[in-house]
Structure 1
Amino acid sequence: MSASPKPVKVLPLPLSVELRLQQPGLDIQAQFRVLPGRVCAIVGRGGAGKSALLKAAAGLHPALGGRVALGNQAIYDSVARVNLPPHQRRLAWLDSQAHLFPHLSVQSNLEYGLARAPKPVHGPGFDAVTQWLDLRSLFKARPSRLTPAQRFKVALGRALLSAPRAILLDDPLGGVPEHDQPPLLDLLAQVPARSKLPVVLISPRMNEVIRMADDVIVLHEGRMTSGGIATQILSDVSLSTFLEGANAGSVIEGEVKRHDIEWLLSEVDVAGQRVTVPAALHAVGRKVRLKVRARDISLHRDLIEGSSASNQLRGRITQIMLAGENGSYGAVGIELDHLRDAGDFSIQPGVQIWALLTRKSIQQMDLAPGQPCVASFKAMSVAVSGWR
């Protein structure tokens, strides 16, 4: 009697997408690559072609040409005439609809995902996934009896149990009421580290992108306008038209250093300087991302006293972008100084914030690249997000 084949460990592979496709009134052409354990977010205005691009990668929308590959293995290649059907591409798809089988119980829906996992290759264990998502008490229920949050967790569990090679998320929390979204976003943010798989995310809610994305590409009218590391792209105010408009600003990473219980405030280290924020529900030592709107930042020549702006960060002006020759405002880029020891500042490349000022203020202060400055803003103007 022969022994049962042992599970084969398959190393995660990067997902590469280079596609051309069409939908009514829009030609779409884009390319990106996602490494295992990283999240690439596709952002842009509604109608830019984000969902169509992701569906084409999954085989759910016809493509005019291009290539989709996991490592060196093509799952779609118009030149080589490779076009695997969706179920053979092994790309987990999760959107706002959950798409659970209404005639099956929760347990049977989950087991359907497990049955799709190739043998003898095994993905995460059934018990581990259902325990992590707290689904065991729901096993006998039908999808019609579940809340939107519960349906999302079942759909996520089924996707992971199918042992996919990459995960595609198209507004996965879109069907969940806003007040139920935070704990589900916490779960979703754990997926890249747990699965070690490439993840692609589309979401209209920028807080989800800030929380999850390692890399961001911006899609505008079917074409990529920019792409790169998330904090750099999300902080590029020149892209505000395609991102958050009036809410455009800077996304910076830091580490929680202390909590002030008396005043319900927290302190976050950013480039060696301290940023005071509203009490953050994150442990000391936790990495976080801070979002500060460019219009909430003021610039000064030196530290100021007697101000309600509790945050004053030293830096140096790197660039000034005016909104047209006769525009009323301009964006000023500031690279933060890095505090090595008490009172000892040096430039730490890469940590940059933006301030949105009137053209009058820029001219009256005679601001110019290379000048030292202090960027100030109130603690209440900072939005704090966990970071994977």
Structure 2
Amino acid sequence: MSAALPPPLAVELRLRQPGLDIQAQFRVPPGHVCALVGRPGSGTTAVMQCAAGLIPAQSGRVTVGNQVLYDTPTGVNLKPQDRRFAWVDGRGQLFPHMTVQGNLSYGHRHAQSRGLQGPEMATVVEWLGLGPALALWPNQLDVATRQKVALGRALLSCPQALMLHDPLAEAPAHEQPALLDLLTEQHLRFKIPTVLSTPRMDEVIRLADDVVILHEGRVASAGPLSRILSDVSLSTFLEGVHAGAVLEGVVRQHDIQWLLTDVNVAGQRVTVPAVLHNEGRRVRLKVRARDINIHREPLQDSSVSNQLRARITQVMLAGDHGSYGAVAVDLLHTLDTAARPHSGGDQLWALMTRRSIQQMALEPGQDCYVSFKSMAVTVAPR
């Protein structure tokens, strides 16, 4: 019989910071990661701290399943240790007077003292590869190992929610892929509702299921990652010229001769530079809006590898005298005879000059083709 899933986390808070009145609300199901993103000073860190009970709120409600952790009308306001939110940041803070074994045991004992049944320490040690480091002290650890110990201690404490605050801030670039693999695996293995805050969008794309965008303390947009990060109208709050689409796909096959990989997206083939992922592996593709072209008919004798069938859903112009605009399209599922958009809502945005948009008379409802080079795509495993 499988273990019961942890309960979902629900947060609705209002709090004040110097010069900023913050209001935020979001829900995180078990096994999901919700990313709070925004420009510096938008309030993401404060919201996480407030939900964990580390700083006070003006009003609101925080629950885990049926358990109320904070509620203004009823006066419930549990202490941070009673909310049982584990906090892991980029510094990988450990108890300096304890070995790796001692730090991990602390989390395990903390859970046992409350009668909680969390993961076995041997299982976590083996998963994180910490066996050779158990007798070492924190000042003897490299950054990556310190982060693994901090994550292991957090999971062994059997938390109700995991707060990841810029977890790779101090990790060297060559260590980050392996740490990202572990962070991706943890929410699949342990199913703990996880809240993520990081300034690097590649980490959001890799880890998050849902995204909440905060702008000057208010929720500017919220929803599934592929929809939110594929909306260039939100680029002011995110990546600017790097804004584009995030597409969900599955690795279909590898072309060893040409070092390319085919990915199935909405029933259509997208070719990308070769990736080291098995066939059938879920991946996310990022394509910048500035790298997308729109055509009435398929291109002939072109070096562009990817030409996908789509339908225009929205045309945005930057005013009557602006030089550019944005065109949104939904990919059409090739297996659907009615050519309806794929149920996953696979959407692309193309940044184009206003002249091109008007000369092509692009309007919502028109069928078209979108094209982009294989080298314009970045791939992240799921």
Q: TM-score range with shorter-chain normalisation?
A: over 0.9
In structure 2, do the counterparts of structure 1 residues 161 and 74 end up closer, same or farther at CA, with 3 Å as the change threshold? same
CA contact (8 A) 1:250 1:293 kept: yes
1:24 to 18, 22, 31: 18
CA contact (8 A) 1:338 1:345 kept: no
- In 1, distance between residues paired with 2:75 and 2:333? 53
Total equivalences in the alignment = 377
Question: In the alignment, does 2:309 pair up with 1:289?
Answer: no
Determine the structure 1 residue equivalent to 2:61: 67
Question: In the alignment, does 2:218 pair up with 1:218?
Answer: no
Cα distance, 1:120 vs structure 2: 2.9
Q: Deviation string for 1:137-179 (max 9, x for gaps)?
A: 1011111110000000000000000011111111111121122
Query: Structure 2 unaligned runs (5+)?
Result: none
Alignment of 1:175-324 (within 5 A): 175-324=170-319
- In 1, distance between residues paired with 2:333 and 2:305? 19
What letter is aligned with 1:100?
L
Question: In the alignment, does 2:341 pair up with 1:348?
Answer: yes
Query: Structure 1 unaligned runs (5+)?
Result: 1-8
Secondary structure of the structure 2 residue equivalent to 1:347: coil
Secondary structure of the structure 2 residue equivalent to 1:241: helix
Cα distance, 1:80 vs structure 2: 1.5
Secondary structure of the structure 2 residue equivalent to 1:266: strand
Determine the structure 2 residue equivalent to 1:338: 333
CA contact (8 A) 2:210 2:225 kept: yes
Question: In the alignment, does 2:144 pair up with 1:149?
Answer: yes
- In 2, distance between residues paired with 1:251 and 1:321? 19
Determine the structure 2 residue equivalent to 1:43: 37
CA contact (8 A) 1:337 1:345 kept: no
Determine the structure 1 residue equivalent to 2:79: 85
- In 2, distance between residues paired with 1:43 and 1:55? 15
- In 2, distance between residues paired with 1:52 and 1:291? 29
Secondary structure of the structure 1 residue equivalent to 2:346: strand
Q: Deviation string for 1:286-342 (max 9, x for gaps)?
A: 11110000000111110011212110001111110111222111110111111118x
What letter is aligned with 2:97?
H
- In 2, distance between residues paired with 1:220 and 1:242? 7
What letter is aligned with 1:293?
R
Question: In the alignment, does 2:96 pair up with 1:113?
Answer: no
Q: Deviation string for 1:25-66 (max 9, x for gaps)?
A: 111111111111111111111110100110011111121111
Q: Deviation string for 1:119-149 (max 9, x for gaps)?
A: 4321000000000000011011111110000
Determine the structure 1 residue equivalent to 2:352: 357
CA contact (8 A) 1:22 1:64 kept: yes
- In 1, distance between residues paired with 2:378 and 2:50? 35
What letter is aligned with 1:250?
A
Structure 1 stretches of 4+ moved >3 Å: none
Q: TM-score, normalised by structure 2?
A: 0.96
Question: In the alignment, does 2:375 pair up with 1:384?
Answer: no
Greater mean deviation of Cα atoms: 118-127 or 287-296: 118-127
Question: In the alignment, does 2:8 pair up with 1:14?
Answer: yes
Cα distance, 1:81 vs structure 2: 1.6
CA contact (8 A) 1:339 1:345 kept: no
Secondary structure of the structure 1 residue equivalent to 2:332: strand
Question: In the alignment, does 2:90 pair up with 1:96?
Answer: yes
Determine the structure 2 residue equivalent to 1:135: 130
Q: Deviation string for 1:4-29 (max 9, x for gaps)?
A: xxxxx765111111111111111111
What letter is aligned with 2:53?
G
CA contact (8 A) 2:5 2:191 kept: no
Greater mean deviation of Cα atoms: 48-57 or 82-91: 82-91
Q: TM-score, normalised by structure 1?
A: 0.95
CA contact (8 A) 1:116 1:162 kept: yes
- In 2, distance between residues paired with 1:17 and 1:307? 50
Secondary structure of the structure 2 residue equivalent to 1:339: coil
